[in-house]
Each structure stands twice: as C-alpha cells, then as structure tokens.
C-alpha cells in the first residue's frame, strides 16, 4: 500500500484550490437514477469514492462519460461528468458493491420511486460506528413502500408508486434526508420531512432536483416540503465546494503558521468551524475568490469543541481539530456527539507525542511544546488527514500508512500541500 512521507516544520504559504464536495457529489450522482435524461455535474472531485460509485451506478445501467481536458484546466480542476439512466437494467444493488461504500445504499430511494422496486444490500458496519438504516426504511415506509429485510437485503416495493406523507425523523440523519427527499420528488402528493438534516449538501441536492423539475421548499431548514411530480428531466449542476476540505486545510495553516488563500472556498458553508479557528488565534478572511487563512507564528490557543449537526461544528472536522489542539498552549476538551467510535486517531496522535485523555465521548487534549515524527497508521478518512496535519508540525519525519483512506475524500492532497511549501510526498507501494 502507498504511504505518505512528511518532514515537518514548514509554514504553508500561497494558494490552494478547494475541490467539489464529495458529500455533495455522491447523492447528486445517485439522483441521476430519477430521470431518463442526462444529468451533467460540474466540479466533481477525482476521488476513489466517486470512481467506485460510478461502478455501482453502471451496474444499474447508468452510462457515464467525462469531459476531456479544457483550456485553462489543470490537474486540480474539478471534472465534468455526464450520467444517463435512460434504461435501468437492474434494480438490485448487491452486497459486494454496497459493502464498499455506505452511500451506495442510497440508490434505494430513486430506484423505488422510479421503478417501483429495489433490492439493496444492507451496508453493514463502519469503522466509525454502526450507522443503522432504520430511518431510511421508516421514511420509505411512510411513503407507502412495502419493505422486508431478508438474507441481508432490503426488499422494497411500491407497485402503485409512492405517496406523499409526513416523515418525522427522531434524530437528524443526512443520509435518510437525502433518500427520502429523492424518493418524494416522484411521489404522488406532498411530503413533509420534519427534523430534516440542514447540511449544505442537502440544499445542494435540492437545488439540483429543482433544476430537474422537482418542487421542493425549505431545504437547508428543519422542515422540507416536497410536492411530487410525474417525471424529472436532465439538468446541468455545479457541485458545491467541499467545506470539510476547506476546514481541513484551514486547520493545517493554523497548525503550521503561514498565509494561504483557499481558492473557491465558501465561508457560509462552515461558519461554526471558522469561528472556532478564530478562537485559536488564526486570522480568517472571506473574500470573493475564497477564504484567506493566516497565522503569524504566535501560540495556538486552546478551544473547547462539541460536534453537532449543521450548523454546528462538523464531526468530519473533529479529528483535524484534535490534531491542532495537540500543540495548543493549554488544555481543550473535544466532545463527539455524532458517532460512537470516532476517536481511533487518538492512539496514533499519541505516537507523535500528543497528550490526550479519553473519557467516553470526551477527549481532553493538553497541548505539548513539540510533536515528534513517527510511523503512524490511518484508520479512517478523517483520522488519516489528522495525522497529516500533525505530521506537518512534527519535528523530523512522519510516515502515514494505509493512505487509501485519504484517496477516498481528498483530491491530490500531497500536491496541494506541496505547492504551499510542505515537504510531503507519496511513496508508492513496491
């Protein structure tokens, strides 16, 4: 497996482009199943998860093509993809495909809405928690679907189509909100989703669906109203910038010092995280071209953080922020409320010299004067990039193993950091 080698101690300076959001691109790609016309998505990141979902969608009969290189584009410019599901040839999503990516379970909503049936494997467990699909199933049942679970598969039918209804989630779920919203777009009558997820990726999907002819109001709030339509059409949509990538690189600058323009980033997508970063002593300035992050070398101030659904501090930035707090001048407390097993990076950060004490879902981080490079092991996507951030500030050499996790969610990470002055390289498996 590939490794990433980092020699710490270099400030980051310059500009760094922000890619399209993986967490927006995946549901947008799945939405192609809702129409027999072509859905064109711009600013799609080149990631392992995107490639894997392409393979999964092709199993259902979706044709996929990518624009060739254009004048002015470079390797870090998002790609334009065209998805056409004019003929759905298979409504089964098998275990061997769904097990590789949890988000692929979401095809159940569009397949059921358009074809009246779907057979989708249960996705199984996850490194950061179980993340059950009960809310997905209950939401689709509320829309009139007959659902049975047998042999590890969810068998769903709606022979006469889905019917709009009230869907009230007992707990905020981004995935379930995506699925029910897509399914309701083709249901008869009105659907009201209560306690809906408010993440920007929900609003981005709704914007695309509206462009395809859906009637949706309230996306980005706790209550979404959807008036079902008979069919959806093709559309061209640009994927929203990745707020998690934005926050990750902003924390890398805060960790190392320096001055970096995050090109194309939008401050409105992560205001809570940026405000938290300001509390650590970083200067954050939103501009027309992106977000400028600067730290002049003064100490990092400790800040307490509690992860929450949007608009709160994102769980997907918790590991990165913990890495930053390992160098703070004082003690911080980080409380994880979203996933029950998202502190696996703690032991690896400790290998670099971090002082972290765990008590249930609370991590107490006492900043240290220096981190020291060491071999570390990535355990999941966000944990792996937290080790990169720590390595950028550690003395000596850090080697991050199992970096295939990084390739799932960060486009050309080494190249982006290297152009800002980091000493970082990928070592290919021999």
Q: CATH code at 386? A: 3.65.10.10
8 and 156 fall within a common domain: no
Q: Is the pLDDT of residue 17 over 90?
A: yes
225 and 269 fall within a common domain: no
187 and 276 fall within a common domain: no
Mean pLDDT over 198-203 rounds to: 98
Q: Is the pLDDT of residue 1 over 90?
A: no
What percent of the residues of the chain are helix, what percent strand, and what percent coil, each to the nearest 5?
A: 35, 30, 35
Strands 79-84 and 38-44: antiparallel
Question: pLDDT (tens digit, 9 = 90+) per residue, 303-352?
Answer: 999 999 999 999 999 999 999 999 999 999 999 998 776 788 999 999 99
375 and 406 fall within a common domain: yes
Query: Domain limits at 405?
Result: 3-19+241-427
- Looking at residue 330, its pLDDT comes to 98
The dihedrals phi and psi of 88, each to the nearest 5 degrees, come to: -90, 115
Please tell me whether 174 is known to bind a ligand.
yes
Taking the C-alpha atoms of residue 415 and residue 16, their distance in angstroms, rounded to an integer, is 10
78 and 227 fall within a common domain: yes
Helix (H, G, I), strand (E, B) or coil at 326: coil
The dihedrals phi and psi of 159, each to the nearest 5 degrees, come to: -60, -30
221 and 247 fall within a common domain: no
224 and 331 fall within a common domain: no
Query: Pick from 193, 223, 238: which residue ends a domain?
Result: 238
Question: pLDDT (tens digit, 9 = 90+) per residue, 53-100?
Answer: 999 999 999 999 998 766 666 666 789 999 999 999 999 999 999 988
Alpha helices in 200-340 (DSSP H): 200-211, 243-256, 271-280, 318-325
Q: What average pLDDT is seen over the chain?
A: 94
14 and 37 fall within a common domain: no
Mention every residue, 6+ apart, whose C-beta is less than 8 A from residue 74. Answer: none
Cα distances (Å, whole numbers) of residue 208 to 147, 235, 311, 383, 388 = 28, 8, 21, 31, 34
Please tell me what DSSP assigns to residue 422: -
Query: Pick from 238, 262, 277: which residue ends a domain?
Result: 238
Q: How many domains does the chain have?
A: 2
256 and 157 fall within a common domain: no
27 and 168 fall within a common domain: yes
- Looking at residue 72, its pLDDT comes to 62
Query: Pick from 186, 208, 238: which residue ends a domain?
Result: 238
Rg (CA), the chain: 22
Return the active site residues: 126
Mention every residue, 6+ apart, whose C-beta is less than 8 A from residue 158. Answer: 112, 113, 116, 117, 143, 144, 145, 146
390 and 408 fall within a common domain: yes
Please tell me whether 23 is known to bind a ligand.
yes
Question: pLDDT (tens digit, 9 = 90+) per residue, 376-427?
Answer: 998 887 788 999 999 999 999 999 998 888 888 899 999 999 999 999 999 9
- Looking at residue 34, its pLDDT comes to 98
pTM: 0.94
Please tell me whether 316 is known to bind a ligand.
yes
Taking the C-alpha atoms of residue 109 and residue 119, their distance in angstroms, rounded to an integer, is 11
Burial state string for 109-120 with b = 16 or more CB within 10 A and e = fewer than 16: bbbbbbebbbbb
- Looking at residue 102, its pLDDT comes to 86
Please tell me whether 215 is known to bind a ligand.
no
Q: Do the Cβ atoms of 398 and 360 come closer than 8 Å?
A: no
12 and 147 fall within a common domain: no
């Amino acid at each position: 497996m590939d490794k990433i080698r980092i020699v710490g101690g270099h400030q980051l300076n310059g500009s760094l482009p922000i890619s399209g959001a993986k967490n927006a691109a995946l549901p947008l790609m799945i939405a192609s199943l809702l129409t027999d016309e072509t859905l064109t998505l711009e600013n799609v990141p080149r990631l392992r998860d995107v490639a894997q979902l392409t393979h999964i969608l092709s199993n259902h009969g979706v044709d996929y093509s990518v624009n060739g290189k254009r004048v002015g584009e470079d390797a870090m410019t998002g790609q334009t993809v065209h998805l056409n599901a004019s003929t759905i040839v298979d409504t089964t999503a098998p275990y061997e495909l769904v097990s590789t990516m949890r988000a692929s379970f979401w095809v159940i909503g569009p397949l059921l809405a358009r074809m009246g049936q779907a057979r989708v494997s249960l996705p199984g467990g996850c490194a950061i928690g179980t993340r059950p699909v009960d809310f997905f199933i209950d939401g689709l049942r509320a829309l009139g679907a007959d659902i049975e679970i047998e042999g590890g598969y969810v068998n769903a039918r709606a022979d006469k189509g889905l019917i709009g209804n009230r869907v009230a989630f007992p707990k905020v779920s981004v995935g379930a909100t995506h699925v029910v919203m897509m399914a309701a777009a083709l249901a008869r009558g009105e659907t009201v989703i209560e306690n809906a997820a408010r993440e920007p990726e929900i609003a981005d999907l709704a914007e695309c669906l509206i462009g395809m002819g859906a009637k949706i109001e309230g996306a980005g709030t706790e209550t979404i109203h959807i008036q079902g339509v008979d069919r959806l059409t093709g559309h061209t949509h640009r994927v929203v910038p990745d707020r998690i990538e934005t926050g990750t690189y902003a924390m890398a600058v805060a960790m190392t010092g320096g001055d970096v323009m995050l090109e194309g980033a939008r401050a409105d997508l992560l205001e809570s995280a940026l405000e938290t970063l300001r509390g650590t002593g970083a200067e954050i300035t939103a501009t027309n071209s992106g977000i400028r992050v600067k730290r002049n070398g003064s100490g990092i101030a400790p800040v307490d953080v509690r992860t929450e659904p949007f608009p709160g501090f994102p769980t997907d930035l918790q590991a990165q922020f913990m890495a930053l707090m390992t160098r703070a001048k004082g003690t911080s407390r980080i409380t994880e409320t979203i996933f029950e097993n998202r502190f696996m990076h703690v032991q690896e950060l400790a290998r670099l010299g971090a002082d972290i004490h765990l008590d249930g879902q609370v991590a107490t981080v006492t900043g240290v004067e220096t981190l020291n490079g060491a071999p570390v092991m990535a355990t999941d996507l966000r944990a792996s990039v937290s080790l990169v951030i720590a390595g950028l500030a550690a003395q000596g050499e850090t080697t991050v193993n199992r970096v295939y996790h990084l390739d799932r969610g960060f486009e050309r990470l080494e190249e982006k950091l290297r152009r800002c002055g980091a000493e970082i390289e990928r070592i290919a498996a021999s």
